[in-house]
Amino acid sequence: MAALCESFTLCGLGPSGAVGLGGGLLALEPGPDPDHVLLTDRGRTATLFKVSDQKPLGCWSVKHGQIITCPVVCNFETHEYIAVHDDKVLRIWKNKDINLDKVFKATLSADVYRIHSLPNGGPVVLFKGGGVRTLDVLLEAPQQEIENIISDEIIKWSEAFMEGQQPVLIFATEKDGDFFVYVQKLKMNSLHKYKLEQQELSRPLSFTAYIKNQIITLLCLYSNDSVYEVLMPLQQNSEEEQILSKSLLLKLSVSGSVLKGTSFVVLDKDHIAILGSLAAPGEESKECLTIWNTKFQTLQTSKELPLGTSGQLWCYEEKFFFTHGKVLTVMMYKCETSSLAAAVGKLKDSQTPDVSSFVDWNTLADEELVVSFQSEQSVALKSESKMTLRSKRNTVAKVQPDTLSVGQILLNLKDASTTVFENELRQLVSKAQMPDFQASIGCVITALIKRCKTNPKYYPQNLLLHIVETRDLSYSLCPDLMAVALEKKDVHLLQICLQRFPDIPEEITYVCLKVFLSISEAYLQTTDVNLESVISYTDVEFNNKEVKTEIVENGFNAELEHDIWNTKITKETHPMADGELCPVGPQKAALLNAVLQSAYSEAFLLPHLKNLPAQQAVLFLRYLYYLYVKCSEKINTTLPGTRCPTISQIMDWMCLLLDAHFTVMVMLPEAKELLSNLHKFVRAQVRFYSELNKIEGSLQELQRRNHERDSQTYSIEVLEFI
């Protein structure tokens, strides 16, 4: 899908501006390096610009009374500039030259129409009489006679290409309403003349051409608001003048309004850009820049240019150049491969992945949001005219009304009441088609958190949960969110964050772990935690526990039992000797699983993990051991259910925990039995796997032999020879 992007002003063109002196632009040509353009005005001056810096790098003028008659071009091989003034006088200079009077000068015998500079072929000079010379040939004898081959026809347009190693020049002429096209191959010195098929009541206004697969495609913009395509084979044998037939490529009309094009460029095989005025019946026409898809005959995008243009449009390096009002404006565009879906605007928002994968760090804070949108446009501010300012405001208001409103809304809501605030935000969040949506959501969350911080009683848990669950957020997009959740002990939100955020710092992971381990089971029972990661392997224990409690209650004082529970570190109720029962409740287990599955880097986690209190470390290890045993029960060493930690995650955490608390574990009496059990279990596993290893070798060999036998002795196969 093609799209027009941001624009900026390259330079002013008015009497006060840097160039032009009111005469307007003659032409724009690519400069010696990428991102450079050469600007020639209809007067005496040529200026070299670095486009991205919006900065003139050099400016050259001919003497008063002289006029540059042909766009200045750059010889890409020598990095020299070539200009023609007063039709016949050729000037060649280099970057370091300042005064054009003192540079190389050659007076030619005929009027020059244009010079075309080709990246590998050197400059080619087209004379008004249709003669063509390469610059090298011309400089050998500047006064050489130039033939006139087009008699009284007038050249309207010309273009040059490299085809293989040879330059090809194509130009169009007019005489009495008849249009002719000439194709000149310089090396072969061959010239072909074609006559363009006549079109009743309309005439070509503008041409452009490209070459592909030995075929020149000439596109003509006609005065009847249509673009026609003319194909010319490069290999042409017949000497006669041929009539070129054209085919309609594009009709420039959209739902009643018609585009009166003035100039156009080809963007890729399916897209052309046209500058012109869009006239709807009963309305005054507006100048605008449009991109059309020729494959599907659709208008892809357009941009109004209310200040008027000169009707000229150039395009280099995915940038449009045109005069808008009194300035030369540069506008970027994107042009992607066209598909029917994209052409009718039904493509599943091909830009969204771009946006979500990259966060514009400048647009995060809400105050900055507005500023940043302004700053995007602020490049245009460089030129101080009021007109520019206005145009900027217009564009902002039209192009990005939604995005801007996020910042504005947030600003406006700063002091609103809680209910209003939340309602507005909910509405905002539900708008999926916002551009730069990720950043906006980040801002929304930041605003929420800010409100939470200023008002300790305010904590919109549901809204936060909703946002975190439905949007692809990251920690870096809303750094304070988890801190607030930790403060509020909102374990559910923490669980969701741990599951969803890809970039949680190890410190926060550790704090979560610590909170989860320290929080009491009783508190957890009352909270809502997503249990899907534990539900399928702790089922049995729930039942067991219930049965047990019943028995216990039959014979014991429940309160006493409860006390023992709290003091004795769950030793009796959660016996680990045979690894049967889970040392933590299902809620805690689910939370710990979320920690186990979050991403971390060992080196950064280890120092924090060392701070974990010994009792909690033992409890965590106990849980890890429990999971490990659970995993090993199954042949494929995975836990049943969804979102379960994998065995390697469990093992990694176990190693990490043992590394962090090695000395503590050795000293701690309650860890002793656990460690010894763990050791026994691991040793048994190692033995078991080494046995399996041996079997695997034999099995592999058997399989290999079996396989060989199968394919042996006889088969009928198909063999193709080409």
Partner 1 sequence: MGEFEVHRVRFFGLVPAGIRCLACQPHGARLALARTDGAVEIYNFAANYFQEKVIPGNQARSVEALCWVAGDRLFGAGLGGEITEYDLFRLCVAHSVDGGGGPIWSMAANNSGTQLAIGCEDGSVKLFQVVPGGIQFGQNLNRQKGRILCLSWHPSDTHIAAGSIDVVRVFNVSSGQTVQRIMMNYRVHKVKRECIVWSIAFLSSGTVVTSDSFGRVQFWDWERGTLQESHTVSTSAVLSLSVSEKEDSIIVGTSTGATYQFQLLPVKTGSLEKRWVRTKPFQHHTHDVRAVAHSSTALISGGLDAQLVIRPLVEKMQKKGYDAALRKFTFPHRCLVSCARKARLLLFQFSQHLELWRLGSTDKTGEDGEVLPLCRMPEHLVQLKSKGPEHICCSCVSPCGSWVAYSTASRFHLYEVQYNGDSVSVKKVPKVPKLLLPAYQLQFSADSGSLFIASAQGSVHVLQLLEPGGCKHLHTFRPLSGCPEAVYLLAASADGHWLAAVGGDWAIHIYNLKCFKHHCTVPTYNCAVTALAIHPVTNNLVIAYSDQQLFEFSIPEKQYTAWSRMVQNSGLHKVWLERDSPITHITFNPKNPSHILLHDIYMFCILDKSLPLPDDSDLLMNQTTLKQLPETARQWQLHAFKICKKFQPLLFADLLDENCLVMVERPIMDFKTQLPLPIQQKKFGT
Where do contacts with partner 1 occur on this chain (CB under 8 A)? 712-722
Alpha carbon distance 688, 666 (integer Å):
27
Nearer to partner 1, 201 or 716 (CB): 716
Which class for 455: exposed (0-12), middle (13-18), buried (19 or more C-beta within 10 A)? exposed
| DSSP 8-state class, residue 161 | E
Smallest gap from Cβ 243 to partner 1, in A, equals: 32
443: three-class secondary structure by DSSP? helix
Nearer to partner 1, 636 or 713 (CB): 713
Which class for 551: exposed (0-12), middle (13-18), buried (19 or more C-beta within 10 A)? exposed
Q: Could you tell me if 538 and 627 are in contact, meaning their C-beta atoms sit under 8 angstroms apart?
A: no
Q: Could you tell me if 65 and 52 are in contact, meaning their C-beta atoms sit under 8 angstroms apart?
A: no
Read off the tokens for 135: 């610059």
Give the count of beta carbons closer than 10 Å to the beta carbon of residue 525.
Answer: 12
Nearer to partner 1, 357 or 715 (CB): 715
Cα–Cα separations (whole angstroms), residue 69 to 38, 62, 113, 114, 307:
15, 11, 8, 9, 27
Smallest gap from Cβ 689 to partner 1, in A, equals: 19
Smallest gap from Cβ 717 to partner 1, in A, equals: 5
Tell me how far apart the 2 most distant CA atoms of the chain are, in Å.
124
Nearer to partner 1, 283 or 717 (CB): 717
Alpha carbon distance 79, 72 (integer Å):
12
Smallest gap from Cβ 339 to partner 1, in A, equals: 24
70: CB partners within 8 A, 6+ apart: 83, 84, 87, 112, 113, 114, 115
Nearer to partner 1, 346 or 705 (CB): 705
Nearer to partner 1, 706 or 715 (CB): 715
Smallest gap from Cβ 709 to partner 1, in A, equals: 11
593: CB partners within 8 A, 6+ apart: 533, 534, 643, 644, 645
Alpha carbon distance 428, 53 (integer Å):
37
Q: Could you tell me if 272 and 320 are in contact, meaning their C-beta atoms sit under 8 angstroms apart?
A: no
Nearer to partner 1, 642 or 698 (CB): 698
Nearer to partner 1, 120 or 711 (CB): 711
Smallest gap from Cβ 718 to partner 1, in A, equals: 5
Alpha carbon distance 274, 266 (integer Å):
9
Smallest gap from Cβ 708 to partner 1, in A, equals: 8
Smallest gap from Cβ 166 to partner 1, in A, equals: 24
Smallest gap from Cβ 189 to partner 1, in A, equals: 30
Read off the tokens for 474: 């990251």
Nearer to partner 1, 417 or 715 (CB): 715
Report the DSSP pairing between strands 190-196 and 242-244. parallel
Smallest gap from Cβ 722 to partner 1, in A, equals: 4
Nearer to partner 1, 669 or 697 (CB): 697
Q: What DSSP assignment string belongs to 179-211?
A: EEEEEEETTTTEEEEEEEPP-TT--EEEEEEEE
